[in-house]
């Protein structure tokens, strides 16, 4: 599938109009999210996700879903012995034993966020998911899978942008949209094909699936304001699996 831009600003931009989703992630998205004002807020959100944890804590085996270029891992504050970076954009040929770090603690694997059958029940101590839920066609089934592979007492951390909230829409218009247009990409065409769901839907389903867990949600920048006036929300979910649990496997 190709993304077609509506504006061009240079001959170089014209050559980029037919880029696929994959090439946009490789050539445009990382540049947009790592530089300027967008890059500044991106660092804040990574720190926000890790703020409850301490260097003294140990989550032995961690799975990050939708890890992309692995930009979140340096922000992880707690200790771990295995860290699995996964993404549907990785080559399917990437094996489960492919090391992404010299110390052998980090693995890089291909993974569909909605299909975790390769993993055993309670295999992980923590799952981290950054901007994944709004891409999924079946959020509930995905969350049930995530819950299955996390140990009783483990943690799931979920970041969701506050789309289509007023504050986020304004911020995207003033920053992200303009940066995409400099690359010759129609931002809204790309965004609404990638994000096929919205924050209010994700919130309802998270609350449904994790009804038995200790669940907290922190909105940024001001948590007590309605979600329309936030840029994102971070869920920290402490997994609780009683025998009577509706989603127990």
DSSP the chain: -B---S---SHHHHTTTT-BHHHHIIIIIHHHHHSHHHHHHHHHHHHHHHTT--TT-B-SEEEEES-TTT-SGGG--SB-SEEEEEETTS-TT--TT-BSSTTS-EEEEE-BTTB-TTSPTT-EEEEEEES-GGG-S-HHHHHHHHHHHEEEEEEEEEEEE-TT-HHHHHHIIIIIHHHHHHTT--HHHHHHHH--S-HHHHHHHHHHHTTTSEEEEEEES-TTS-GGG-SEEEEEEE----TT-TT--
pLDDT of residue 129: 97
List where CATH 3.40.50.150 sits in the chain: 53-162+201-238
pLDDT tens for the chain, 249 residues long, are 333 343 444 444 434 444 555 666 666 667 767 778 888 999 999 999 999 999 999 999 999 999 988 899 999 999 999 999 999 888 766 656 676 676 779 998 999 999 999 999 999 999 999 989 999 999 999 999 999 999 999 999 999 999 999 999 999 999 888 888 887 888 888 788 888 999 999 999 999 999 887 899 999 999 999 999 999 999 999 999 875 455 554
pLDDT of residue 36: 84
- CB neighbours of residue 207 within 10 Å: 12
Tell which CATH classification among 3.40.630.30, 3.30.2180.10, 3.40.50.150, 3.40.50.720 matches the domain 53-162+201-238: 3.40.50.150
């Amino acid at each position: 599938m190709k993304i077609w831009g509506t504006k061009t600003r240079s001959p170089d931009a014209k050559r980029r109009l037919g880029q696929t989703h994959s090439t946009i992630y490789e050539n445009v998205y990382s540049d947009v999210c790592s530089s300027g004002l967008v890059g500044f807020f991106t660092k804040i959100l990574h720190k926000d996700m890790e703020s409850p944890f301490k260097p003294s804590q140990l989550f032995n085996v961690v799975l990050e879903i939708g890890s992309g270029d692995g930009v979140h891992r340096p922000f992880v504050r707690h200790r771990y012995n295995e860290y699995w970076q996964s993404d549907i954009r990785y080559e399917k040929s990437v094996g489960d034993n492919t090391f992404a770090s010299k110390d052998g603690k980090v693995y890089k694997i291909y993974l569909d966020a909605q299909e975790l059958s390769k993993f055993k029940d309670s295999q992980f101590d923590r799952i981290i998911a950054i901007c994944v839920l709004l891409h999924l066609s079946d959020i509930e089934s995905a969350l049930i899978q995530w819950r299955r592979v996390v140990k009783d007492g483990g943690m799931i951390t979920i970041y969701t942008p506050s789309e289509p909230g007023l504050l986020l829409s304004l911020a995207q218009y003033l920053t992200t949209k303009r940066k995409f247009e400099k690359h010759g990409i129609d931002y809204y065409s790309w965004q609404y094909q990638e994000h096929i769901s919205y924050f209010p839907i994700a919130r309802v389903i998270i609350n449904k699936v994790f009804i038995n867990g200790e669940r907290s949600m922190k909105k940024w920048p001001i948590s007590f304001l309605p979600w329309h006036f936030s840029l994102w929300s971070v869920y920290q979910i402490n997994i609780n699996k009683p025998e009577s649990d509706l989603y127990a496997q």
